[in-house]
């Protein structure tokens, strides 16, 4: 028996926010002082580092659980299963539902319960719960679903990653340009076919690194201090990721028994183009092997960083031939990898 992804779906919001939008922002330093640079240079430098030209924001009447539901519908249809057969719905997010123009997170009931309700699933033995694990949340949900299936307590699971980061942005913080909204979903179940999940790896670094991403006040000190926004220590995250993610990926690949030369694609969390490229370079350097061409498909250029949604969305788009010059064929070995707040790192080696 293998454990495979049998269906995928994603929801990409229709509202496009181009970099030009930020030319009107009043960016400030952390201490509230003015930045000694004009916005045009700030935005150009941002694009050079991250690779992001535009990102997607969801419509005002939609929340994260809505996006998750849309992606889940597509995954269920793609897998051609009856949703009543699902044993688990695992939904990864970080901020719950945040209604437009409010600043309070709403996670009661949990978002997975909301998706199950929207899917009109009657089966009470379909267990719905959320997972908070930073950007690696969807991969961790996949690892949990696999464990349930291996233990014999589940046969079919729905794993979703959904986020609306546009609702937690500080418009006075340059880092706000990175984030976006979206959702990706997958059906995972036991299969008679060979392949599926071959190995996985997870690590949590919290001694010094726990608060590299955090909730904090606006850079504009004139605003209310009881309103919090997503903040990060970008340089520390960059250095942490380059130091630790390649080793986690290597540990995962070594567990799988697969040669580095047999990896077809690496689907890494779309956080920052330069950072992702550096991680891949260091990963291959650990094997004294050159990085193959076309190994790392990217969506960050036009979709931005949608946290837990980036990897499942990327996977869905590749499966459905929606990313130019990238495809996955039966028998290909791919790797999922992510790093995010916590600080958490994880990876999966998967035979398609």
Residue 44 in tokens: 């150009």
CATH code for the domain of 134: 3.40.47.10
Same structural domain, 171 and 212: no
Q: In what order do the strands lie in the sheet with 127-131?
A: 2-11, 181-191, 156-164, 88-92, 127-131
Verify that 265 and 324 share a domain, yes or no: yes
Do 176 and 225 belong to one domain? no
Give the residue ranges of the chain where pLDDT is below 50.
none
Q: Give residue 102's pLDDT.
A: 82
Query: What pLDDT was estimated at residue 262?
Result: 96
Total domains present in the chain: 2
Q: Angle 64-79/111-118 helices, nearest 10 degrees?
A: 50
**Structure confidence by residue, pLDDT tens digits, 203-221:** 999 999 999 999 999 999 9
Domain identity same for 187 and 239: no
Q: What is the predicted pLDDT for the residue at 224?
A: 78
Among 168, 193, 218, give the residue marking a domain's end: 193
Stated length of the chain? 352
What confidence score (pLDDT) does residue 225 get? 80
Read off the tokens for 174: 């340059």
pTM of the model: 0.95
292 three-state secondary structure: coil
pLDDT at 273: 93
List, as one string, the DSSP characters of 229-286. EEEE-HHHHHHHHHHHHHHHHHHHHHHHT--GGGEEEEEE--S-HHHHHHHHHHHHHT
Asked if 164 and 80 sit in the same domain, the reply is yes
Neighbours of 145 (CB within 10 A): 26
Crossing angle of helices 39-50/273-285, nearest 10°? 30
pLDDT at 193: 87
Identify the domain boundary among 149, 165, 193: 193
Q: Provide the domain limits for residue 342.
A: 197-351
Strand, helix or coil for residue 345? strand
Residues 29, 142 within the same domain: yes
Query: Could you tell me if 39 and 65 lie in one domain?
Result: yes
Q: Which helix (H) or strand (E) holds 88?
A: strand 88-92
* pLDDT one-digit tens code per residue, 161-201: 999 999 999 999 999 999 999 999 999 999 988 899 999 99
Q: Which of 193, 211, 231 is the last residue of a domain?
A: 193
Q: In b/e form, how buried is each residue of 95-119, taking b as 16+ CB within 10 angstroms?
A: bbbbeeeeeebbbeebbbbbbbeeb
Q: Kindly state whether residues 159 and 220 are assigned to the same domain.
A: no
Kindly state the helix (H) or strand (E) to which residue 47 belongs, with its residue range.
helix 39-50
261 and 291, same domain (yes or no): yes
Determine the pLDDT at residue 1: 77
Structure confidence at residue 42 (pLDDT) = 93
Q: Tell whether 169 and 313 lie within a shared domain.
A: no
Whether residue 228 is found in the same domain as residue 310 = yes
Note whether 283 and 246 are same-domain residues. Answer: yes
């Amino acid at each position: 028996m293998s454990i495979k992804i049998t269906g995928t779906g994603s929801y990409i919001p229709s509202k496009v926010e181009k970099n030009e939008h930020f030319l009107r922002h009043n960016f400030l330093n952390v201490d509230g002082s003015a930045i000694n640079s004009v916005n045009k240079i700030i935005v150009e430098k941002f694009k050079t580092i991250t690779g992001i030209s535009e990102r997607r924001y969801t419509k005002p009447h939609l929340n994260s659980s809505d996006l998750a539901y849309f992606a889940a519908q597509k995954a269920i249809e793609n897998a051609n299963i009856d949703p009543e057969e699902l044993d688990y719905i695992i939904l990864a997010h970080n901020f719950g539902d945040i209604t437009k123009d409010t600043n309070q997170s709403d996670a009661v009931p949990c978002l997975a319960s909301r998706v199950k309700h929207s899917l009109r699933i009657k089966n009470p033995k379909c267990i719905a719960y959320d997972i908070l694990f930073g950007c690696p949340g969807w991969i961790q949900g996949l690892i949990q679903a696999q464990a349930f299936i291996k233990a014999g307590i589940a046969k079919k699971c729905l794993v979703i990653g959904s986020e609306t980061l546009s609702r937690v942005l500080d418009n006075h913080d340059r880092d706000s340009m990175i984030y976006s909204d979206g959702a990706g979903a997958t059906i995972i179940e036991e299969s008679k076919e060979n392949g599926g999940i071959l190995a996985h790896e997870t690590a949590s670094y919290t001694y010094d690194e726990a608060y590299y991403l955090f909730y904090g006040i606006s850079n504009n000190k004139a605003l209310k201090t009881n309103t919090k926004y997503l903040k990060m220590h970008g340089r520390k995250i960059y250095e942490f990721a380059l130091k630790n993610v390649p080793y986690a990926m290597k540990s995962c690949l070594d567990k799988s028994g697969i040669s580095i030369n047999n990896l077809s694609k690496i689907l890494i969390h779309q956080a920052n183009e330069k950072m992702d490229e550096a991680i891949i370079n260091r990963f291959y350097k650990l094997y004294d092997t050159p990085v193959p061409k076309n190994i790392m498909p990217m969506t960050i250029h036009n979709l931005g960083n949608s946290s837990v949604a980036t990897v499942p969305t990327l996977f869905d788009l590749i499966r459905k031939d929606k990313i130019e010059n990238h495809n996955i064929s039966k028998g290909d070995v791919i790797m999922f990898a992510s790093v995010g707040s916590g600080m958490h790192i994880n990876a999966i080696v998967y035979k398609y």
